[in-house]
Amino acid sequence: MNKAFNLENIRKDFPILDQEINGSPLAYFDNAASTQKPKAVIDAIKNYYEQDHSNVHRGVHTLSVRATELYEESRTKIAKFINANTSNEVVFTRGTTESINVLASTLSGLIKQGDEILISTMEHHSNIVPWQELCIRTGAILKIIPINKLGELQLDSLEKLLGKKTKIISVTHISNTLGTINPIKKIIELAHLYNAYVVIDGAQAIAHTPIDVQDLDCDFYTFSGHKLYGPTGIGVLYGKENLLNKLPPYQFGGEMILKVTFENTSYNSLPYKFEAGTPNIAGSIGLAAAIDYLNSLPLNLCHQYEMEIHDYALDQLKSFSNIRLIGESHKKSPIISFIANDIHPHDVGTILNQKGVAVRTGHHCTMPLMEFFNISGTIRASFSFYNTKNEVKQLIGGLGIAFKMLS
Amino acid sequence: MNVLLLKSVKEIELEISQEFEIFDSWMDRYEYIIDLGRQLSSFPDEWKIEENKVQGCQSQVWFKTELKNNLFVCQAISDSAIVSGLIALLLRIYNQKDPSDIVATNPTFVSVIGLDEHLSPTRNNGLNVMLQKIKNDARNMVLDQQLKTKLN
């Protein structure tokens, strides 16, 4: 089936895009922070609350059965989207941050003093701090896989860092600041030679590349719904079934139990073991609606188009002589980070906002990476398939004004 | 006495708002603010220490406040041009003031000069944090003065 990519129709699916900011049409280039939501997602959440809401599981009445079916259907759709072996491998969380925290907390039991955890220079704080805390608790050592000046992971250094003591490698699939696509399949292969567990931060990648967790053979893959055109507050922790079964529960309470007496409690099976309390039912339904929506698009062409927009913007940016690109990996996703001589990124962002252009400025929660490049922050434009060349022109025009005012 | 010759916080706020009235576009306002920032008196590098750093701003901001001749005296700088401009406005309003005047007056100039939409204190530009820093330091100066009076 060959579906055509129709930008005009796609834009109509995102009601929020059709508005003015400070008298200019909105040009939204903050997609790496959060993507906008298609009407299908908004409607799914609305319909759920208007027609089907009740608490999930164990209810005999119709609404509870409907809510449960929708919730579990969402899990199945997500499992299929990432090609998990079974929907038991899909645990709902609040987002990537919580998914990584679940792992850093529950993997603790397998870690002893002197063991090594590997992360990379380009990690988001949520893939640094939970592991630092794990190291403090267990006496394990956090080691950093270096990157080169282009912002690419140095695989030869990784090979040297790997050893018998390596227990966990947690790396990002795509850098939220640099746009670098990491060779995670190769990393997973290398790590497994040493029987280390591999955690992938897929927060960015999930929206820009097809994910097949079985093909990747990663042990854990994490992502957030809101960066995949779904709602905030819902995310996914994928884990291989045998590994998730090995790990202890993360939180304790309702839903995650099998039997409770005052003397003893036995825990529920996967994935409920990790889902204590009433889950974010509407969030999961919204995320499934986002996946349905994406599946209705020619997703490959969407990804291709995002890179076209990225390349076009990159080309246009070359007209400015004061710009230094941060992140020039040979394999990139549609994210451009740059700085402009001595001009503060925050000032550029403020002026761009006056022209209706939404970019993110600052350290993007990657302070060690900023330190590596010896900068305090960047201006980041991150693209989605709903962005247009005209919006890029608006960005370039806004930058021209900002640089003139601030130089 | 010196204090009598100086304008009050309210008077300067009014002056600033009158100046901003002549601008009819956001660009003019911002250009003026950026220009004010450029005119800030220099802030020596040796003052750029952790103790003087104002936490909670997206840009780096340093404030050095002291009580001189019973007046609040402050020097400050930011690595952001726009924030430096905001600092210039704040210093114009609060520098060389009786600390108790600072504590007692709530700033209104942000909304009056038509920047509230863009630079409201809830936005992450540090304006709110800088205002709090000024008020806190002024409050501490007042408390110190009261303590000294008591001890005497």
ipTM summary value:
0.85
The reply to whether A223 falls in a domain is: yes
Residue A184: is it exposed, middle or buried by C-beta count within 10 angstroms (0-12/13-18/19+)? buried
pLDDT tens by residue, A33-61: 999 999 999 999 999 999 999 999 988 99
Residues A120 and A54 in one domain: yes
Contact A354 B27 (CB under 8 A): yes
How long a stretch of residues is chain B? 152
Residues A336 and A215 in one domain: no
Domain range for A376 is: 7-30+298-406
Task: Residue A342: give its domain's CATH number.
Answer: 3.90.1150.10
CA distances from A87 to A41, A258, A279, A299, A372 (A): 21, 19, 16, 22, 40
Residue B5: is it exposed, middle or buried by C-beta count within 10 angstroms (0-12/13-18/19+)? exposed
Residues A277 and A165 in one domain: yes
Chain A residues within an 8 Å CB radius of B81? 343-344, 347, 406
Amino acid symbol at B63: F
Task: Residue B131: give its domain's CATH number.
Answer: 3.90.1010.10
Residues A255 and A159 in one domain: yes
Q: Note the pLDDT of residue B74.
A: 94
pLDDT of residue A63 exceeding 90:
yes
Size of interface A-B (CB pairs under 8 A): 42
Across the interface, of A350, A376, A401, the residue whose CB is closest to B82 is: A350
What CA dihedral angle connects A54, A55, A61 and A67, to 10 degrees?
Answer: 70
How many helices (H) and strands (E) chain B has is answered by 8, 2
The residues with which A378 forms a beta bridge, in sequence order, are: A362
Residues A102 and A236 in one domain: yes
pLDDT of residue B1 exceeding 50:
no
Other Cβ atoms closer than 10 A to A63: 13
User: Nearest CA of chain B to the CA of A362: how many Å?
Assistant: 7
Q: What is the mean pLDDT of residues A84-94?
A: 98
Burial A259-272 (b: 16+ CB within 10 A, else e): eeeeeeeebbebbb
Contact B58 A22 (CB under 8 A): no
* Residue recorded with tokens 């820093």: B133
Label residue A369 by pLDDT band (50, 70, 90): very high
Task: Residue A288: give its domain's CATH number.
Answer: 3.40.640.10
Residues A207 and A254 in one domain: yes
Told to judge if A365 belongs to the known catalytic residues of this protein, a careful annotator would answer: yes
Query: Element (H or E) spanning A253, and its range?
Result: none
Residues A26 and A61 in one domain: no
* Residue recorded with tokens 């995002």: A306
User: What is the Cα–Cα distance from A378 to A393, expressed in whole angstroms?
Assistant: 20
Q: Which of A278, A295, A312 is the last residue of a domain?
A: A295
pLDDT of residue B118 exceeding 60:
no
Cβ of B23 under 8 Å from any chain A Cβ?
A: no
pLDDT of residue A249 exceeding 60:
yes
The reply to whether A36 falls in a domain is: no
Chain B residues within an 8 Å CB radius of A360? none
Q: Which of A295, A324, A356 is the last residue of a domain?
A: A295
Q: Give me the percent of chain A exceeding a pLDDT of 70.
A: 100
pLDDT tens by residue, A92-132: 999 999 999 999 999 999 999 999 999 999 999 999 999 99
Q: Which residues of B are catalytic?
A: 57
The reply to whether A2 falls in a domain is: no
Amino acid symbol at A227: K
> What is the count of structural domains for chain A?
2
The SS3 call for residue A264 is coil
Q: In terms of Cα–Cα distance, which of A333, A343, A359, A294 is closest to A14?
A: A294
Residues 89-118 of B with CB under 8 A from A: 118
Label residue B104 by pLDDT band (50, 70, 90): confident
User: Nearest CA of chain B to the CA of A77: how many Å?
Assistant: 38
Label residue B125 by pLDDT band (50, 70, 90): low
**Token pair belonging to A405:** 């005012």
The reply to whether A367 falls in a domain is: yes
Residues A111 and A11 in one domain: no
Chain B residues within an 8 Å CB radius of A362? 58
Label residue A301 by pLDDT band (50, 70, 90): very high
Across the interface, of B26, B34, B59, the residue whose CB is closest to A406 is: B34
User: Nearest CA of chain A to the CA of B11: how many Å?
Assistant: 29
Considering only alpha carbons, which residue of chain A is nearest residue B117? A22
> What is the count of structural domains for chain B?
1
The reply to whether A56 falls in a domain is: yes
The reply to whether A353 falls in a domain is: yes
pLDDT tens by residue, A2-43: 689 999 999 999 999 999 999 999 999 999 999 999 999 999
Chain A residues within an 8 Å CB radius of B59? 344, 346
Residues A328 and A284 in one domain: no
Domain range for B97 is: 3-151
| DSSP letter, residue A249 | P
Residues A270 and A303 in one domain: no
Q: Which of A295, A318, A349 is the last residue of a domain?
A: A295
